[in-house]
Amino acid sequence: MSAYQDLKYALSDGVCYAAQGVTPESFATYCSRYVDGFLVTIELLALSSILGLCIGTLVAVARVSTRPVLRRGAWAWSYIFRGTPLLVQLWIVYYGLGSLGPERLGILWPLFKSGWAVGLVVLTINTSAYIAEILRGGLSSLPVGQLEAALSAGMSRAMAMRRILLPQAFRVAWPAYGNELILLMKGSALVSTITVMDLMGQTRSVFARGYSLETYLYSAVLYSLLAIILTLGLKAVERRLNVG
Amino acid sequence: MKTLIIAASLLAATTAAAEPLRIATEGAFPPFSEINAAGEVVGFDIDIANALCAKMERECAIIAMDWDGIIPGLVNEKYDAIVASMSITEERKQTVDFSNPYYANYLVLVAKKGADVTQETMQQYAVGAQRASISSSWAEEKVGARGDLRLYDTLTASFTDLEAGRIDSIVSDYFPALDWLKDHPEFEVIGERIDINDQIGIAVRKGDDELRNALNMALDGIIADGSYAKVSTGYFGADIH
Amino acid sequence: MELLGFGATGWGDDLLRGAALTLQLAIVSLAIGLSLGLLLALAKLSRFAPLRWLAQGYTLFIRGVPEFLILLLAFFGTEKAVAAIAQLVNLQGDIDVPKFAAAVGGLSAIFAAYGCEVIRGAWLAVPKGQIEAGHSVGLTHWQIFHRIRLPQLWRIALPGLGNLWLVMLKDTSLAAVLAIDELLRVAKVAGEVTRQPLIFLLAAGAIYLVLTAVSDKMRATFEARANRGMAR
């Protein structure tokens, strides 16, 4: 863990060293804080988007399942986590459940102990609910005949899902997924309210020193940069998906 | 347009004297300021503010404000003074002016009884403090810019996490810590209280000498006539000036 | 359980008051955000290139920056801007931009950026033939807009705008960090004072679910009415 941490600090120092001449003074003074935070944001985003995609896929499949228990469970999952604000979810888990303490939470306690862990879990669950809806939309846009044809060819429902329906649903739903990824990035800024020093957390800390508005503007620029990089990546994948 | 502005300024200037003095306080710093069950802001700071206003024979309007935005609010003229147990620091003096101190504060390191953390070994542990406070500045000096320092919006939130065991220790102001420790006997102050010559003052806008002098005079007044001691004893059993 | 009750010792009434403020924030921001969104959409559709770029740039900025940061910028930015303007015209006395207004400013700005895309899409979806027909029978621009474009714009944009409303309803919770006593903040304060954060935060979550459910029902009603008479 520590080696990873050192790697991040080294990366951050490197970037800031390079940025010294190019960026305004008021940014350069706190550069390492901004970049440290930026790296935490990226790490949370990467992990929660991948995990969220996995869980979201499972929930989407459950949504269209033949078993009512799965269907209703998946519906409830989507309903609850899309119907309440992300900030409320974060605070319920961190401050609410966290207040139960190690005696009542037992082995789950390490999860609730760190703001970063809580942030990861909540962001993952939150995005999974939206992804499930997006995929469900993708699945329902596919011609009904496909599933029937696959089943009559002897495939199990699970295999039909995996081999035929889901890949197509992904392709159709890709733009909507891209949207959700950007929204996830923006939502990640809220983990700063549960003591995580991501880009937003570092920004608020720097602001508390001099109260200059530039602090927030620099942060906005960095987030925009991340958004642009993500969008370019998403568009590139979209082009490849649509070639087939 | 110009006449309209001049008229407005004259009107504003003449009514300024009759306007209540707007004072901002925090509301999450017991026992100096907190929100009670009825939703009102109460505490030592509020009582002192009221005593000062009584002395100055002016009406006071107390506004609760979040710590993060309390100085910008003063600078942007949302209110005229801050009575929120704010430490007088060189950094803050660049943005605001301060009255004479109305009490002296110390910092303390609080942790569970029997914990290994000490003031010398802090950097190896998770330390909590309120963001934008002298506690966080001091803690940051101790653990380094990349130490495990958790920043909270309010001091109360940091105490909650200490209680929950999320962090190993807190750097807190002395009196709020004592107040909290009364209900939490499993915790204690670690080491000696830290004296960084922390004076607590009332913040006013830069250059607002009129208000500053008025507050200083009122402060001397309430100390002289015993109303300060009365408030202080009520909260702490002693005069903390 | 009495904690959730009403009156001086119960926080139930405070929670409801917070919910009312949440709705106020959302409704006012909706009104301003829709108007601003319409203007932005028109700017994007205009033939005047710089206007298009301005609108495009604004939209890109808002869409790439976290809503939380935008609210903080709106909050501290408007404070500073108002103070600067006051100094410029040498106005003494207090000009207070209430926190509510700053929050509304931020929320509307966000709504407008996303809303303008929905409106623009709906605008372009109105069949051109109908507009031309309107011109050819001598209707004025305003009449065409009012009688032909607007009803269809409304119908097509409704699902998208309805979604944005739900998002904004949830975004009002961000005002909790700005010392505005909306629902989430009241729940947090109550939790801290009573040392029982879980029950209050869960209650807040439940109220948000109710608000979103009701909104969705209303949106469905609006959609049904807007779509009446349309061939399936």
Residue pair C169/C31 in contact (Cβ under 8 Å)? The answer is no
Q: Assign residue A64 a region: left if phi > 0, alpha if psi is -120 to 50, beta otherwise?
A: alpha
Query: Would you say residue A16 lies in a domain?
Result: no
Token pair 């004025």 is at which residue? Answer: C140
pLDDT score, position A39: 95
Chain B CB contacts of C178 under 8 Å are 66, 69
- The SS3 assignment for C105 reads helix
Residue A116 lies in a domain: yes
Q: How far apart are CA B202 and CA C150, in angstroms?
A: 57
**pLDDT, mean of residues B155-174:** 88
Residue B18 pLDDT: 55
Q: Is the pLDDT of residue A222 over 90?
A: yes
The string of pLDDT tens digits covering residues B118-148 is 888 888 888 999 988 889 889 988 888 788 8
Q: Determine the Cα–Cα distance for residues A163 and A195; give it in Å rounded to an integer.
A: 42
Q: Over 60: is that where the pLDDT of B9 sits?
A: no
Q: How is residue B241 annotated by DSSP?
A: -
Per-residue pLDDT tens over the stretch C139-189? 888 888 888 888 888 888 888 899 899 999 999 999 988 878 899 999 988
Stretch C193-201: mean pLDDT: 86
Tell me what pLDDT residue B1 has. Answer: 60
In-domain check, residue A18: no
Better-scored residue on pLDDT, A244 or B4:
B4
Q: Work out the burial of residue B226: count CB atoms within 10 Å of its CB; fewer than 13 is exposed, 13-18 middle, 19 or more buried.
A: exposed
User: What tokens were used for B196?
Assistant: 């960084």
Q: Which of residues 94-113 of C touch B (CB under 8 A)?
A: 94-96
Q: Is residue A9 part of a domain?
A: no
CA distance B34 to B38: 11
pLDDT of res. C231? 65
The answer, yes or no, to whether residue C222 has pLDDT greater than 90, is: no
Residues of C in contact with A220 (CB under 8 A): 61, 65, 69-70, 73
Interface contact flag, A89 C184, Cβ < 8 Å: no
Nearest to A195, CA basis, from B122, B149, B133: B149
Task: Give the model confidence (pLDDT) of A35-81 as tens digits.
Answer: 999 999 999 999 999 999 999 999 999 988 889 999 999 999 999 99
Structure tokens at B197: 């010559």
What lies within 8 Å, CB to CB, of A203 at 6+ separation is A34, A37, A192, A215, A216, A218, A219, C69
Question: Higher pLDDT residue, A227 or C46?
Answer: A227
ipTM confidence = 0.89
Better-scored residue on pLDDT, C192 or B59: B59
Q: Which residues of C touch A96 (CB under 8 A)?
A: 191, 197-198, 201-202
Q: How many domains does chain A have?
A: 1
Is the pLDDT at B15 greater than 50? The verdict is no
What pLDDT shows up at residue C90? 66
Q: What share of chain A is helix, strand, coil (3-state, %, to 5)?
A: 90, 0, 10
Separation of alpha carbons B41 and B64, rounded Å: 7
**Does B25 score more than 60 pLDDT?**
yes
C206, pLDDT greater than 80? yes
CA B12 – CA B23 distance, rounded (Å): 19
Q: Characterize the bridge pairing of strands B187-205 and B96-98.
A: antiparallel
CB A40 within 8 A of CB B146: no
Question: What percent of chain B is predicted at pLDDT more than 70?
Answer: 92
Confidence of residue B7 (pLDDT cuts 50, 70, 90): low
Residue with tokens 């003052």: B201
Q: Which domain holds residue A186?
A: 29-241
Tell me the pLDDT band of B203, cut-offs 50, 70 and 90: very high
Residues whose CB is less than 8 angstroms from the CB of residue C59 and which lie 6 or more positions away in sequence, other chains included: C40, C44, C113, C116, C117
Domain assignment present for residue A3? The answer is no
8 Å CB contact of A182 and C63: yes
| In a domain? residue A7 | no
Summary mean pLDDT of chain C: 86
pLDDT tens-place string over residues C11-36: 788 889 899 999 999 999 999 999 99
Residue B202 has pLDDT above 90, yes or no: yes
In contact, A47 and A120? CB cutoff 8 Å = yes
Comparing CA positions, the residue from C213, C200, C209 lying closest to residue C5 is C200
| β-strand partners of B172 | B108
Query: Mapping DSSP to helix (H, G, I), strand (E, B) and coil, where does residue B106 land?
Result: strand
Q: What is the pLDDT of residues C126-138, one digit of tens each?
A: 888 888 888 888 8
Flag whether pLDDT at A153 surpasses 60.
Answer: yes
Nearest CA to CA, how far is A42 from chain B (Å)? Answer: 18
Q: Are B71 and B201 in contact (CB under 8 A)?
A: no
Query: Given an 8 Å threshold on Cβ–Cβ distance, is B165 in contact with A102?
Result: yes
A195 inside domain: yes
Contact with chain A for residue B165, Cβ under 8 A: yes
Q: How many CA atoms lie within 13 A of B148 on its CB side?
A: 17
Higher-pLDDT residue of A106 and A181 is: A181
Cβ–Cβ gap C75/B13 under 8 Å: no
Indicate whether A185 belongs to any domain.
Answer: yes
- Give the angle subtended at the CA of C205 by the CAs of C203 and C208, to the nearest 5°: 110
Q: Do A114 and B131 touch (CB under 8 A)?
A: no
Cis peptide before B31 (omega within 30 of 0): yes
B146 vs B18, higher pLDDT? B146
In the 8-state DSSP scheme, what is residue C127? -
Angle of helix A166-187 versus helix A31-63 axis, rounded to 10:
140
What CATH number is associated with residue A160?
1.10.3720.10
